[in-house]
Amino acid sequence: MSFFDRLKEGLAKTRKGFIEKVESVFMYGAIDEEVVNELEEILITSDIGVHAAAEIVNSLKDKIKKGAVKDSASAKEFLKKEMVSLLGSSSPVVLFGEKPFVILTVGVNGVGKTTTIGKLASRFRSEGHSVLLGASDTFRAAAIEQLEIWAERSGASIVKHQSGSDPAAVAYDAIESAKHKKIDIVIIDTAGRLHTKSPLMEELKKVKRVVQKAMPHAPQEVLLVVDATTGQNALRQAQIFNEAVGVTGVALTKLDGTAKGGIVFAIRKELGIPVRLIGIGEGIDDLRDFVPEEFVEALFS
């Protein structure tokens, strides 16, 4: 099965909860004010968010007024184009600048952060890059063990301290080790933390400050891992983590288990943060670059 087919399959719940409702509104042929209002309601309740929904609907009203959208077929095509436009161009993780390229991964508990790191490490290794993992989630001994397994599986190096150690010290040592060994990429794991707990967020800020002491231009990527099944709560997480450490990209996991895939639009519109990666399964190849055109096409297919 191709990745596009797997993406279609993974988005089945979102399609059923969102696109099928949209298509039922468009069934009657004529596009009038009642249809447009109903469409706006569907968009908002599909986790796309109020601002994104308003932008789409206002553009649709404008096109209807100008005669560019006259029936359900043209309305559907307009909607697809508008959704792609809303997501912007594809924004994968791009390696740049002096080595090592440092990725600081953050997120709440249970979103699949360590697994995402492992899959990323495997991908970078398969592309010929040397990779070092920094085990800065020192609260859970299991997290260190899990990262060790991924390091072994992917052929990456790992820097770890004892469970309970200072997370910032691990991050510092990871970067220093990578500089000494001329490693291409450092991926730092951090403890999952509730975004509502300010002491934990302060600790995360400290990790970032210490990373910058080790390497002034790092981290080049602050990757927030969010669970798509949490819907609008994922948007709130993104807001708070962005305020704390300046999120540069989002990895959206568990898209295959949710009807709330519309959250990608809300994250992009509300925060201007690009979704860089999406996860649609447990397999090592199921973490892929997010391609807006591909995502929207899979939604409507």
Domain check: are 107 and 220 in the same one?
Answer: yes
CATH of the domain at 83: 1.20.120.140
pTM of the model: 0.91
pLDDT in single tens digits along all 301 residues of the chain: 777 888 888 888 888 877 788 888 877 667 878 888 888 888 888 778 888 889 888 998 888 888 888 888 888 888 899 999 989 888 999 999 899 999 999 998 888 899 999 999 999 999 999 999 999 999 887 889 999 999 999 999 999 999 889 999 999 999 999 999 999 999 999 988 665 667 788 899 999 999 999 999 999 999 999 988 887 788 888 888 999 999 999 999 888 776 677 888 888 888 889 999 998 877 787 889 999 999 999 888 8
What 3 state SS string does the chain have? CCHHHHHHHHCHHHHHHHHHHHHHHHHHCECCHHHHHHHHHHHHHCCCCHHHHHHHHHHHHHHHHCCCCCEHHHHHHHHHHHHHHHHCCCCCCCCCCCCCEEEEEECCCCCCHHHHHHHHHHHHHHCCCCEEEEEECCCCHHHHHHHHHHHHHHCCEEECCCCCCCHHHHHHHHHHHHHHHCCCEEEEEECCCCCCCHHHHHHHHHHHHHHHHHCCCCCCEEEEEEEHHHCHHHHHHHHHHHHHHCCCEEEEECHHHCCCCCHHHHHHHHHCCCEEEEECCCCCCCEEECCHHHHHHHHHC
Q: Is residue 92 included in any domain, yes or no?
A: no
Residues 130 and 177: their CA atoms lie apart, in Å, by 13
| CATH code, domain with 147 | 3.40.50.300
Q: Is there a domain that residue 216 lies in?
A: yes
pLDDT, residue 235, reads 84
pLDDT value of residue 261: 76
With respect to residue 299, please indicate whether it lies within any of the assigned structural domains: no
What is the rounded distance in angstroms from the CA atom of residue 279 to the CA atom of residue 112? 10
- Tokens standing for residue 147: 């990262």
Number of domains, the chain? 2
**Domain enclosing residue 150, as ranges:** 101-291
In a domain, 163, yes or no: yes
User: What is the predicted pLDDT for the residue at 196?
Assistant: 63
Report, in angstroms and rounded to the nearest whole number, the Rg of the chain calculated over CA atoms: 21
- Asked if 17 and 141 sit in the same domain, the reply is no
Q: Is 287 exposed, middle or buried (0-12, 13-18, 19+ CB in 10 A)?
A: buried
Cβ neighbours of residue 175 closer than 8 Å, sequence gap 6 or more? 100, 102, 134, 186, 211, 214, 215, 218
Identify whether 65 is part of a domain: yes
* One domain for residues 68 and 169: no
Residue 253, in any domain of the structure: yes
Of 87, 116, 142, which one is at a domain's C-terminal end? 87
For residue 173, the model assigns a pLDDT of 98
